[in-house]
Amino acid sequence: MINRVPITSVCVLLALVGWAATVHAESVTYADLAPIFNTRCTLCHAGSSAPMGLALDSYANVIKGSTNGPVVRRGDPEASELIRRLRGTSLPRMPMMGPPFLSDNEIAKFEAWIEAGMPEGAASVAAAEPVSTPLPGVDGPVTYTHVAPIFARRCAKCHTDNGLMGAPPEGYRLTSLEHTLSPVERARVVPGNAAASELVRRIRGDARPRMPFDGPPYLSDEEIDLIVRWVDEGAHDAQGNPSPLPVGAKLRVHGRLSGRWAVDGLQLQPAARLRIDKSPVSGDYVEVRGRVLSDGTVEAERIRRR
């Protein structure tokens, strides 16, 4: 025998479920989210140098959005770029120093807040001061967590999809550890050998043009030293694991020829069929094309005066 539930009871039950969901959504305010913003987002997204002008250090700035427009759309989490970035629907996924990224429960709080109309609550009181970027003096190995905020503030504005220059220059993205270390076209970072890393040589000015392209001001000495330490120590990921060497990957080194097989003191291993163009001599600015050897040194296949 089938028990029939009165329609009125079903309606009451559905109404109670809807009421509970509404109460849950309305209970989330910006004040509840401010600690997450301040611990996971404002390392990069704060102040005048925030990527794409997106500061996430106050309620007003979150609502204001970026130079591309709003990142949260009242009542519509799925259309909100903030949610899309947190979930990885839009790339690069945020926070940029992840993984780990935000938990499902944390992201659900943001969705509930947007669904409820983005109430402020006691936001201006609850928001903490943005966390400052860690600089030399960190305990233990320097990890991607320490350098990612520098890349986000000063590099990713161009080295990202749809950046200030459109496509990322030379296809190089600085929006995640995977992209920063990618050797697909050529290796820009050689873990354990900062002097052989094009990224380092660009930010130090050993290679032209010096980066960031909108400098001066360029990176501070402290920021450069931190990135150099990160690379020389093995380019550790956020969990402190060293990155593998891109053995056999192509690379490019620009700098001053400082000896028969050296560029700015970086010792080169000449290939069996080394090609030398335009008769460079010591002191000349040159371009070296080569590959990464198994010990992290550079095998030079071509040296050309620029």
Q: How much is the pLDDT for 13?
A: 40
Helix residue spans in the chain (DSSP H): 7-26, 30-40, 59-64, 81-87, 104-115, 123-126, 144-154, 177-181, 198-204, 221-232
Residue at 138 is within a domain: no
Same domain membership, residue 296 and residue 197:
yes
Q: Give pLDDT, residue 37.
A: 92
What whole-number distance in Å separates Cα of residue 232 and Cα of residue 88? Answer: 30
Asked whether residue 131 is assigned to any structural domain, the reply reads: no
Which of 92, 126, 160 terminates a domain? The answer is 126
pLDDT digits (tens, 9 = 90+) for 60-93: 999 999 988 999 999 999 999 999 999 999 988 8
Of 35-49, 101-115, 163-177, 215-229, where does mean pLDDT reach its minimum? 35-49
Q: Do 277 and 304 meet the contact criterion of CB atoms below 8 Å apart?
A: yes
Are residues 149 and 122 part of one domain?
Answer: no
Mark whether 182 and 217 lie in a shared domain: yes
Tell me, yes or no, whether 53 and 155 share the same domain: no
pLDDT tens string 145-172: 999 999 998 998 899 888 878 899 999 9
What is the H or E stretch that residue 136 is in?
Answer: none
Residues 38 and 180 in one domain: no
User: Is 243 found in the same domain as 200?
Assistant: yes
The span from the CA of 229 to the CA of 195, in Å, is 11
Per residue in 215-265, pLDDT tens? Answer: 999 999 999 999 999 999 999 999 999 999 999 999 999 999 998 899 999
pLDDT tops 80 at residue 18: no
Q: Do 240 and 155 share a structural domain?
A: yes
Q: Residue 84: give the domain boundaries.
A: 7-126
Query: What pTM was computed for the model?
Result: 0.75
Pair 154, 119 in one domain: no
Q: What token pair was written down for 277?
A: 């163009």
Pairwise CA distance, residues 172 & 27, whole Å: 43
Same domain, 61 and 111: yes
pLDDT band at 16 (very low <50, low <70, confident <90, very high): very low
**284 pLDDT band (50/70/90 cuts)?**
very high
Q: Are 153 and 241 within one domain?
A: yes
In DSSP notation, 251-297 reads EEEEEEEEETTEETTEEEEEEEEEEEES---TT-EEEEEEEE-TTS-
Q: How many domains does the chain have?
A: 2
